[in-house]
Chain A
Amino acid sequence: MRHLLSAADLDAPTATALLDTADRLKQALAGREVHKLPTLRGRTIVTMFYENSTRTRASFEVAGKWMSADVINVSAAASAVAKGESLRDTALTLAAMGADCVILRHPASGAAHRLADWIGTESATLRAGLAAHVVNAGDGTHEHPTQALLDAATLRDSLGTLAGRRVTIVGDILHSRVARSGVTLLTTLGARVHLVAPPTLLPTGVRSWPVTVGHDLEAALPESDAVMMLRVQAERMHGGFFPSAREYARDYGLSEARAALLPEHAPVLHPGPMLRGMEISSAVADSPRAVITDQVRNGVHVRMAVLYHLLAGVEEVT
């Protein structure tokens, strides 16, 4: 694995190996007072975040630091970007300084692909023997592969396996990189994915995705082994995608009564940040079946696993 740009970069053996590595790292760190493994000592990881993010950036930073890598954070507001420097120039500059891995969050779909192309083809970096690995930490409405991995890890913890399990994803599929990566990875791992959303928040081509699609949350819940609620961004509420927050919550929100329709074993996931009372009620978010903090914890471990596989040279799974 050269880069992690898309969940489609991961076949089932590779994804499983990453999840297994994350499990082992979790066990290795369990009960330790000092969260520090020497694995990536001397490696430099740069996070480049062109969008506001607290949890994803912190998660990558913690993941790097727990493996003793040097982690440098570049944020768009504080960097040369504010002076008008292009993504290409910023990235090549950082690569030329010797970054081993660039973690990119960007509002443009495909930004991480472009970055990987530039780093892989620019003679200036190749000449210096520098070819940083690129990790997509969310590009526009395209993909967020490490989110998909942490969701898969959390589902594995709850359900044992993903094979044959039915996962229902609810909400703004159209604008969700979490949903795009999730559909791909969960399907790769054998899960059956069902999408529930108002028609205005479903992508045009969704009928050709390897999923089933519906508009009736209550009908879907009893059939679900897990449900994943997506955040509804404030700007969508005013964009005419649905009439009102009240109507959305009434038809697509996970209330206590609706959560009771789920089978006993089914966990509730949310990538955060949550809009309590909108897509999920407070009671459900704080209930035992909500595994939202487990997702955050697993996020660190899967990101450690990704960095380990990319930087410590675990190429193939045998």
Chain B
Amino acid sequence: MSPLLLRGVRPYGEGDPVDLLVRDGVIAELGTRVDTAGATVRDCGGLVALPGLVDLHTHLREPGREDAETIATGSAAAALGGFTAVFAMANTDPVADTAVAVEHVRRRGREIGLTDVHPVGAVTVGLAGERLAELGGMARTGVTVFSDDGVCVADPLIMRRALEYSTALGAVIAQHAEDPRLTVGAQAHEGEPASRLGLAGWPATAEESIVARDCMLARAAGARLHVCHVSSAGTVDVLRWAREHGAATVTAEVTPHHLLLTDDRLGTFDPVNKVNPPLRTGPDAAALRAALAAGVLDCVATDHAPHAPQDKDCEWAAARPGMLGLQTALSVVVETMVAPGLLDWRGVARVMSERPADIGGLPDQGRPLAVGEPATLVLVDPDVRWTVRGAAFASLAGNTGFEGMELPARVMTTVLRGRVTADDGKVMW
């Protein structure tokens, strides 16, 4: 591969444009007097350069629901969204609860090569919450994150054991915090719109109580707990309190849709807005944005959840929860965090690349844009606005909650260890 010169990029959106030379998969030179001999030159016109984005929470649906998404189409969506690494959740069919199952996912990801696909291992066998899966066996294949996401590890004793056991593996337990007894039949955030619409309530307390419990368990075990898709202001309070009281190993993520969308969208009964945890109130969304800016929430994770049309184009109660996220995540973060001044581009790099890479234990992702570092980066046009069309996305499914919205900023080019994986809206298969 010949060297690639990215002419006129602004690392972290700061300072005057500089030239960035990619050679042999690393950033070989960075500055204004870069030797261009033999390089393919690309004029970047002041695009913002960030380290490649890392998603701790992606559903790629393979194996089992290849009609909704495959590792190939999900990888393409990731590349187009600026992601150079994704963590594929374990709630596939069969469940990724053995070394064989997780290795299959990793191998398919590597064969496709558009983004680093890191399998998440299940915490319990079959996500049933009854006995621990072989965490050690999966860890030996390189699994660093374990989660039963989709369901909560609700039994406090199982959760305690998982946290304790994981300390020997250097792994993190990512919890889908939802007390199942408080959410029997739940359909939407328990609040005014749901009560008016007759949708059974999913109370914020079902999340907050589990997060409080797990923080205490993690503190006692000295274990690493990661809280998935924080959705309520109360959970932010719990996390802040827990950190101040010695639960230093607890991290947390927020999804783009919980930053932007609220339960005032329920009135159409369109299940595209059905997610788990549910869209909550405007004050919740505001608290999540403030917490992300303040670092109480460590990072953004998409919870990219493709669903086949028949699983969304139906009655609300029959629909599966979740929405697409990979190709809208950066734009939603710009809309909710950068535009109002809550984060600068360096902050975006922190919450969408550096922190998730750190939490997921990826030494070669989320690296500084500096000479000698991996050429794993994304170029963003901060000035363009575009209209979301789910049908145009690389995912097989089209269930985006942002359909028709005009969002700021567009991923122009994604580079993974020197290889361009997506360019100007095209996947470089």
Over the window 204-228 of chain A, the binary record of Cβ atoms lying under 8 Å from chain B Cβ atoms (1 yes, 0 no) is: 1110110000000000000000000
Separation in Å of the B104 CB from the closest CB of chain A? 30
State whether B317 touches A88 (Cβ < 8 A): no
| Pick from B192, B198, B203, B314: contact of A109, CB under 8 Å | B198
State whether B310 touches A86 (Cβ < 8 A): yes
Q: Which residues of B contact A174 (CB under 8 A)?
A: 195
Q: A110–B193 Cα gap in the complex (Å)? A: 13
Assign chain B's interface to a size class: 20 to 34
Q: Which residues of A contact B193 (CB under 8 A)?
A: 205
Q: A140–B187 Cα gap in the complex (Å)? A: 12
State whether A114 touches B314 (Cβ < 8 A): yes
| Pick from B195, B198, B199, B269: contact of A114, CB under 8 Å | B269
Q: Which of B196, B270, B314 has the most CB of A within 10 A?
A: B196
State whether A110 touches B315 (Cβ < 8 A): yes
Q: Which residues of B contact A108 (CB under 8 A)?
A: 315-318
State whether B201 touches A109 (Cβ < 8 A): no
> Does B128 have its Cβ within 8 Å of any Cβ on chain A?
no
> Does B294 have its Cβ within 8 Å of any Cβ on chain A?
no
State whether A109 touches B196 (Cβ < 8 A): no
| Pick from A87, A114, A140, A205: contact of B196, CB under 8 Å | A205
Over the window 298-331 of chain B, the binary record of Cβ atoms lying under 8 Å from chain A Cβ atoms (1 yes, 0 no) is: 0000000000001001111110000000000000
Separation in Å of the A162 CB from the closest CB of chain B? 21
> Does B191 have its Cβ within 8 Å of any Cβ on chain A?
yes
Q: A110–B199 Cα gap in the complex (Å)? A: 9
Over the window 353-372 of chain B, the binary record of Cβ atoms lying under 8 Å from chain A Cβ atoms (1 yes, 0 no) is: 00000000000000000000
Task: Using A86-B314, A108-B316, A180-B198 as known contacts, say yes or no to A113 and B269 having CB atoms under 8 A apart.
Answer: yes
> Does B194 have its Cβ within 8 Å of any Cβ on chain A?
yes
> Does B197 have its Cβ within 8 Å of any Cβ on chain A?
yes
Over the window 139-182 of chain B, the binary record of Cβ atoms lying under 8 Å from chain A Cβ atoms (1 yes, 0 no) is: 00000000000000000000000000000000000000000000
Q: Which residues of A contact B187 (CB under 8 A)?
A: 109
> Does B214 have its Cβ within 8 Å of any Cβ on chain A?
no
Which residues from chain A sit less than 8 Å from chain B, CB to CB?
A: 86-88, 106-111, 113-114, 117, 139-143, 174, 177, 180, 203-206, 208-209
Q: What are 25 inter-chain pairs, A to B, with CB distance below 8 A?
A: A86-B310, A86-B314, A87-B314, A87-B315, A88-B313, A108-B315, A108-B316, A108-B318, A109-B197, A109-B198, A109-B199, A109-B269, A110-B269, A114-B269, A117-B270, A141-B199, A141-B200, A142-B198, A143-B198, A180-B198, A203-B195, A203-B196, A203-B201, A204-B194, A206-B195
Which residues from chain B sit less than 8 Å from chain A, CB to CB?
A: 187, 190-201, 203, 268-270, 310, 313-318
Q: In the A-B complex, list the 9 residue pairs whose CB atoms are closest, starting with the nearest.
A: A110-B269, A205-B192, A142-B198, A203-B195, A141-B198, A108-B315, A205-B195, A109-B198, A108-B317
